[in-house]
Amino acid sequence: MSEPKGQTLEKYLQTLKSSMGNAATLHCIVGNEAADLDSIASALVYAYFRSSTAETSGTVFVPFIPIPRDDFKLRTEAVFLFSEAGVDPQLLIFSEDIDLKSLYNAGKLELTLVDHNRPTGLTAGFTNAVAGVIDHHADEGLFENVALRKIEPVGSAATLVAELILGEAEDLLDAGVTTLLLGTILLDTVNLDPEAKRVTPKDETVAAELLKRSGIEQKALFNRVQHEKFNVSALDSDDLLRKDYKQWELGHHRVGISSVLLSFAEWLQKDASLSQSLARYAESRDLDVLLAMNAYTAPEFTRELGVYCPDGELRAKLLDYLEQCGLELTPITAEMLDSSTALFAQGNLGISRKKLQPMLAEFFASLP
Ligand SMILES: [Mn+2]
């Protein structure tokens, strides 16, 4: 039998770094590469649960977030929900805090995959260390023999973590832990709305149990988390550009596209030197072209397109080409911009980054 540890999530996190130093084995609970709220919250709560119920000493359970610490602030809904749950983000463990490779080489690494079931990114090389899987994505059939393998097509990985805790360690469900789980389940299932086609009977049952225990007001919590997901007011231009960013080598050029969650009018209010901010971002990544695809709801869904390209000749060709792509572009004039930057309202709301990227690929392939 395990001794009751009288642990709280806060105490667990406060002593985590020092216990990591003395561990014979580090058992990292890791979410998927995107490090969305479901991945981060599920990994944290499951690590806390394992730590609180562990029967073996020597193994330290660590919620490992596979992104740099500085990127956490880009997950605005996670920043909000963790603060609401009383979790100090300073105590969380990020990619720079653990050297997975040397732990693995020393035979001291174990992994539980949460919110994915095939190791990717930072953990891709460590399949032999996988000791457990908790996920709600399509089952890729790996790790059939691990001790815990829980893969079910529910709306949120947090539902599966909550189910385990409800069954085995109910007393861990204090206000903070319940807030983390419930806020995540509600966000992932669009407030348990059947019309959104994300929620399953298990999400409903688990959420009902959490609601009953906590007295949390469902609609209010959902509305706050949903609002904070799109609330980028705390982010500067560099943050806005890297929050949802992809880049490609197209022909002889390097092109980046940021999806941005606010209007150029608001952005220019935050940052009157937007051209210079785009230039800095593009230079730091050695880009020939940087596009910002702004999409926001205020109250109607709206798209805008920003094109940064310091090479005048290339810019003229690209703008000509974009005119022919059916984007329905109308220039937005802003005095503070220099000629490297062109901004447009995008009348065709159907053209997302996924659709624009192949059109750009065709354009750049045609250049000498
Ligand atoms: Mn998920």
Tell me if 368 sits within 8 A of 258, measured CB to CB.
no
The amino acid present at 368, given as its one-letter code, is P
Determine the distance separating the centroid of ligand 1 and the alpha carbon of 155, expressed in angstroms. Answer: 7
What is the tens place of the pLDDT at every residue in 292-312?
Answer: 999 999 899 999 999 999 999
Domains, the chain, ranges and CATH?
9-228 (3.90.1640.10), 237-366 (3.10.310.20)
What is the tens place of the pLDDT at every residue in 39-88?
Answer: 999 999 999 999 999 887 899 999 999 999 999 999 999 999 999 999 99
Determine the distance separating the centroid of ligand 1 and the alpha carbon of 284, expressed in angstroms. Answer: 32
Determine the distance separating the centroid of ligand 1 and the alpha carbon of 347, expressed in angstroms. Answer: 33
Determine the distance separating the centroid of ligand 1 and the alpha carbon of 335, expressed in angstroms. Answer: 43
Measured CA to CA, the distance from residue 214 to residue 176 in angstroms comes to 10
- Residue in the structure block whose two tokens are 């572009």: 329
Q: How many CB atoms lie within 10 A of CB 275?
A: 19
pLDDT > 70? residue 108: yes
Determine the distance separating the centroid of ligand 1 and the alpha carbon of 321, expressed in angstroms. Answer: 38
Residue 298: per-residue pLDDT: 86
What is the tens place of the pLDDT at every residue in 141-178?
Answer: 999 999 999 999 999 999 999 999 999 999 999 999 99
User: On the CB side of 2, how many CA atoms lie within 13 Å of its CA?
Assistant: 15
Residue 55: per-residue pLDDT: 80
Determine the distance separating the centroid of ligand 1 and the alpha carbon of 38, expressed in angstroms. Answer: 5
C-alpha separations of 7 from 26, 170, 294, 304, 331 in Å: 19, 13, 45, 49, 58
Measured CA to CA, the distance from residue 226 to residue 210 in angstroms comes to 19
Determine the distance separating the centroid of ligand 1 and the alpha carbon of 41, expressed in angstroms. Answer: 10
Residue 6: per-residue pLDDT: 65
Residue 3: per-residue pLDDT: 41
C-alpha separations of 18 from 48, 236, 255 in Å: 15, 34, 43
* DSSP 8-class letter at 68: -
Helical segments of the chain, H only: 9-21, 37-53, 76-84, 100-105, 157-168, 175-188, 201-214, 218-229, 237-243, 264-270, 274-284, 312-323, 353-366
What is the tens place of the pLDDT at every residue in 214-245?
Answer: 999 999 999 999 999 999 999 999 999 999 99
pTM of the model: 0.92
Determine the distance separating the centroid of ligand 1 and the alpha carbon of 190, expressed in angstroms. Answer: 13
Q: How many CB atoms lie within 10 A of CB 324?
A: 9
